[in-house]
Amino acid sequence: MNLLDGLNEPQLSAVTLPPQHALILAGAGSGKTRVLTTRIAWLISTGQVSPQSLLAVTFTNKAAKEMLTRLSAMLPINVKGMWIGTFHGLCNRLLRAHHRDAGLPQLFQILDSADQLSAVKRLLKSLNIDDEKFPPRELTWFINAQKEAGLRANAVEAWDDFTKKRVELYAAYEAQCQREGVVDFAELLLRCYELLERNEPLRRHYQERFRHILVDEFQDTNKLQYRWLKLLASGGGSLFCVGDDDQSIYAFRGADVGNMRDFEREFRVTNLIRLEQNYRSHGNILDAANAIIRNNPQRLGKNLWTAAGSGEPIRVYESYSDGDEARFIVEEVKALSRDGHARAEIALLYRSNAQSRALEHALFNAGIPYRVYGGLRFFERAEIKHALAYLRLIANENDDTAFSRVVNFPTRGIGARSIEQLSDAARGAGGSLYSAIPHVAGAGGAKLGAFAALIVKLREAAQLPLPELVEHVLDLSGLRTHYQNEKEGQERLENLDELVNAASSFVAEEGTVSAEGELSSDLASFLAHASLEAGEHQAGEGDDALQLMTVHSAKGLEFNIVFICGLEEGLFPHENSLNEDKGLEEERRLMYVAVTRARQRLYLCFAQTRMLHGQTRYNLPSRFIDEIPADLLKHLTARAGKAGYAVSPEPTFGSASRPQPKGGLRIGQSVMHAKFGLGVIVNAEGSGNDARVQVHFGSAGIKWLALAVAKLEPA
């Protein structure tokens, strides 16, 4: 078979370009990997380059393996020794070959993130540094950030005493690593860059060897990675960079979408090819994605299209709460399953990991198997298990597993020796770790005593309502403060907030009333509920299970049916992005990625109210929904427009008609409320004492009100 068979015109142009710098703008689902691997195969098969004289850089080992597998199927060559891999993998290979020039031992070891954190902790301990003033995790991030910016400790500018001390610790950490013959991930790239920069003969050797350098996911490169590529290509080699500026969503990891424009300018790129034909999604989905991303300025620009037809309209569901959103999705998934759609081809995407809790709860109760992709289920996340451990100690101070988990978390200076003494004392007395605390002497005993006093203080608050108790524990235990001080602790804080919401929902659904002066039975029931949801119903490998994931985790994946949940201002786009243009642009790119994961059917879901810190928050729909042309959308619920609220004479939800309100009120009727003022009834549900109406109150927003207690008067 001819290598070039089946390529469309832009793909063919990209694959057969002459050896010059090129930028390939590869839209979602446009055959990016095929173009990249076919380009490599074409260069080799036409004799322009040998398999060993070509360098191809990817971002994941999985992508590198896929490229090698495809190449071995396309060409009768041994791909094993080819220079195709990740930035870190290729730098490791080069440093191994030139370890003496790089100042490294032959068998240098690589520290993973956990090893690096341990190394930083050892350093602080050896220097007698207060790890509360200089938290090890924060110092690790500081060190990595400097390395990724290409800065050694002597090149970092420090304008205050705190930063000066961190720079000193960075220098001490470098000395420790050099002494021990180890390198961390950030060091691999920086050490390799410095080696090539200062060693001209070595640099010239690799510049002459790698005349063709190909880069995958170029939009995800950081500053140092781009500098490394420029260094290798500056001897006359050609850079063939494939990427999509509209899918640059990793700024929080250091990715710089500006590298694409810099490359185009600095290398005077004349070969800019756009891959715009999409082989994944139906036309309506692509038109929506194009309309959204068009609102971002500074784009290199492209417009996705497909020959597969328009397909179905995009379904929009407006719920009155996050619980209602989850219930709708459950019912829709059930209907889709009955219609023959595999659950494994249905994905639930959300902006924040914390959103999975309500979805998981609804799926668990409905008996629908699911799998959380690229992360842990809600009750299995470390920060949640820490919080639950404190709650378990309130319920039972003799729970040794819970005690061991949090006795020194957040860190309170209780070392391994103190824990060993405590364990010995507990064994000798035949009691629990907690009960043995008075038997440990010295400084360790004093710190353990302080922890015991904390548990006593937490137990004193056990009579609080469950949501307030959880909130109290998060604050008093120091968990909130700990994660507030973490560079990437925002997501963990959101998960802790969601634990408060989980407690509120649990009390509303299943709560009990404890006798005065007794430990709330809500707490024991809630802990049992958390254990059950954490330990059961996880789909096994190979099971037909619904896919749950954040939008970030969904990058590179595709599904027949996609639900994007929580499309509300402040959630998606995230509130942290709303005050800066670049942040909002990245959120819009994230929405573009989410939309283009869908092949056949797309649902956009948002809630008028959502629980936050155990309180109900009223939300506006995400601006991203308004950026989609109305003719592409099918609203499954009546929705407020910019000029008011359109209500059909017989509103419907899916195929079932909504009940009309009782008590002489009707949908479409104007009503007056003492607090919210004039409004229009737009929806109704339930009967008798459970009946409630949805009222649009203009500037006061949309509210669901129980008819039994709401004082609504016809206007």
From the candidates 377, 597, 610, 703, give the one annotated as an active-site residue: 597
Q: Which residues contact 442 (CB under 8 A, 6 or more apart)?
A: none
Q: Is 259 left (phi over 0), alpha (psi -120 to 50) or beta?
A: alpha
Closest CA to 127 of 186, 77, 168: 168
DSSP sequence for 387-442: HHHHHHHHH-TT-HHHHHHHTTSS--S--HHHHHHHHHHHHHHTS-TTTTGGG--H
- What letter does residue 275 receive in the DSSP assignment? E
Query: How far is residue 7's CA from residue 4's CA, in Å, rounded to a whole number?
Result: 6
Residue 127 to residues 122, 142, 162, 176, Cα–Cα distance (Å): 9, 18, 16, 12
**Active-site hit among 184, 187, 216, 287:** 216
Catalytic residue among 37, 247, 306, 421: 247
- The residue ranges of DSSP E strands in 595-687, in sequence order, are 598-607, 609-612, 615-618, 633-635, 640-641, 644-645, 652-653, 656-657, 670-673, 677-685
CA proximity to 552, closest of 602, 604, 599, 587: 587
Q: Are 455 and 393 in contact (CB under 8 A)?
A: yes
184, 187, 217, 494: the active-site residue: 217
- Give the active site residue among 11, 32, 37, 324: 32
Please confirm whether the linkage preceding 661 is cis (ω < 30° from 0). Answer: no
Known catalytic residue: 216? yes
Residue 84 CB contacts under 8 Å (≥ 6 apart), including other chains? 40, 55, 56, 58, 64, 67, 68, 71
Strand partners, 274: 25
d(CA 268, CA 218): 17
SS3 annotation, 510-579: HCCCCCCCCCCHHHHHHHHHHHHHHHCCECCCCCCCEEEEEHHHHCCCCEEEEEECCCECEECCEHHHCC
Q: Does the active-site annotation cover 121?
A: no
Active-site annotation holds for 217: yes
Cα(137)–Cα(114) distance, integer angstroms: 10
Q: Is 405 a catalytic residue?
A: no
Residue 33 catalytic?
Answer: yes
How far is Cα 647 from Cα 651, in angstroms, rounded to an integer?
7
- At CA 268, angle to CA 264 and CA 271, rounded to 5? 75
**Which secondary structure element, helix H or strand E, spans residue 694, and what is its range?**
strand 692-696
Spatial neighbors of 579 by CB under 8 A, at least 6 apart, are: none
How far apart, in whole angstroms, are the C-alpha atoms of residue 647 and residue 230?
A: 59
Residues with catalytic annotation? 32-33, 216-217, 247, 597
